[in-house]
Amino acid sequence: MKDRGNSCRFLRSLAHILCFVGITLASCLCAEGEKVQAKPFIKWAGGKGQLLEQLSALLPNGLKDRQGLVYVEPFVGGGAMLFYMLSNYTNITHAVVNDLNGDLVKTYKAIRDCPDELIHELSKMQKAFYACLTEDGRKQFFLAKRERYNTRNAGDVETAALFIFLNRTCFNGLYRVNSKGFYNVPFGKAVKPLICDEETIRADSKLLQKVEILNGDFEEVGKHVKGRAFYYFDPPYRPLTQTASFTAYSKEGFGDEQQKRLADFCRLLDKDGHQWLLSNSDPHNANPNDMFFEEIFKGFDIHRVSASRMINSKSDGRGKISELAIRNYKE
């Protein structure tokens, strides 16, 4: 275990050196000769990939011209917005991201610090999974890995590999835990999913070199931010109905009181001169008279953007809906 830790530190130092001389771990080319773009390494319920164009139009004017830009994301999740910002805003000199999900954070850190070891673990899992020639065989392999993951005694790199494996092979790429904190998403029946996406891992590793990765409550993130920053918030969404709650990204949950605490935190950031953009569900999809967010974010700019959501188990609960984009600036 000590040798593995030394290996991680050596690889991270090597990555910094290679970046300095203009050769990066993410400079690999695809078969067509095009540079691989950094992107989310997992599928994430509520991910912002489909909304990037609409959200980017709501970013502050002049953000790309701001020297020494600090970017902060207290609910990083799948990282669609993070990798978009890091790829398109080269003036970001430092970024701070956080998530309450400790295993997600371990995965981000493994990609940043130990991409080679992570790729090795994922390659072994992918080869073994592909060797299962029947659906039942693949399901049993999945269940064995899920049980191993739930023991919570694997090393950090193995935990990261299990996290990605389960995400690629479970039902609909969901992450859900029960009241005891055990991951309980069923097998997704995939035959040959891409479990080891080496090119994406290396591209993501390059960009994550300037990112500080935290695991804790969103209010603690501010202690790690120096100077004026731009924050993007993508908290667990407020459920549209009492029966549609899907906030079990962690066993602690994220109810209305947490949403109000987040709004209070945003007001403090506003007073301190930070700019922020926040995403959440739009209660008007289910109840036009529900003014929850208009009340707790009174005085701020509220936009509605269009999204397709596919996590509902019933087909009539899927399709185009509106979501909220709330910000503390006009342009």
Confidence class of residue 32 from pLDDT cuts 50, 70 and 90?
A: very low
Radius of gyration of the chain (CA): 20
pLDDT at 288 over 80: yes
Q: Helix, strand or coil for residue 5? A: helix
Sign of the four-CA dihedral 166, 169, 170, 172:
positive
Residues 49 and 24 in one domain: no
Say if residues 184 and 177 touch (Cβ distance below 8 Å): yes
- Which residue from 151, 158, 146 is spatially nearest to 120, judged by alpha carbons? 158
The whole-angstrom distance between residue 271's C-alpha and the CA centroid of its chain comes to 27
pLDDT at 26 over 60: no
The last residue of a domain, from among 209, 242, 268? 209
pLDDT for the residue numbered 15: 47
pLDDT at 47 over 60: yes
* DSSP-derived secondary structure letter, 251: T
Q: Which domain holds residue 199?
A: 1-35+105-209
The last residue of a domain, from among 192, 209, 226? 209
Say if residues 111 and 78 touch (Cβ distance below 8 Å): no
> Measured between alpha carbons, how far is residue 100 from residues 12, 168, 197, 248 in Å?
24, 21, 25, 11
When divided into structural domains, the chain yields a total of 2
Residues 26 and 43 in one domain: no
Residues 164 and 53 in one domain: no
pLDDT for the residue numbered 250: 52
Contacts by residues 1-10 (CB-CB < 8 Å, ≥ 24 positions apart): 1/155, 4/117, 4/155, 4/157, 7/114, 7/117, 8/113, 8/114, 8/117, 8/157, 9/113
The last residue of a domain, from among 186, 209, 232? 209
DSSP codes, 7-28:
HHHHHHHHHHHHHHTT--TT--
Q: Helix, strand or coil for residue 203? A: helix
- C-alpha 98/C-alpha 108 separation (Å) is 10
* Range 9-18 average pLDDT: 48
| Tokens encoding 61 | 């004017």
* Range 53-80 average pLDDT: 97
Tell me what percent of the residues of the chain surpass a pLDDT of 70: 83
pLDDT at 218 over 60: yes
pLDDT for the residue numbered 12: 53
pLDDT for the residue numbered 309: 63
Say if residues 211 and 87 touch (Cβ distance below 8 Å): no
Tens digit of each residue's pLDDT (9 = 90 or more) over 133-184: 999 999 999 999 999 999 999 999 999 999 999 999 999 999 998 988 899 9
Residues 307 and 257 in one domain: yes
pLDDT for the residue numbered 179: 86
Residues 28 and 45 in one domain: no
Residues 62 and 140 in one domain: no
Residues 54 and 122 in one domain: no
Residues 6 and 47 in one domain: no
- Which residue from 277, 276, 282 is spatially nearest to 309, judged by alpha carbons? 282
* Range 217-245 average pLDDT: 89
pTM of this structure: 0.86
pLDDT for the residue numbered 189: 93
Residues 276 and 318 in one domain: yes
pLDDT for the residue numbered 35: 66
Q: Of 16-20, 153-157, 289-293, give the lowest mean pLDDT range.
A: 16-20
Mean pLDDT of the chain, nearest integer: 88
pLDDT for the residue numbered 140: 98
Of residues 204 and 245, the one with the higher pLDDT is 204
Residues 205 and 275 in one domain: no
* Range 256-281 average pLDDT: 97
Say if residues 170 and 186 touch (Cβ distance below 8 Å): yes
Residues 187 and 251 in one domain: no
Residues 144 and 190 in one domain: yes
Q: In what order do the strands lie in the sheet with 211-214?
A: 211-214, 92-98, 69-73, 230-233, 275-281, 319-327, 301-309
Confidence class of residue 248 from pLDDT cuts 50, 70 and 90?
A: very low
| CATH number of the domain within which 181 lies | 1.10.1020.10
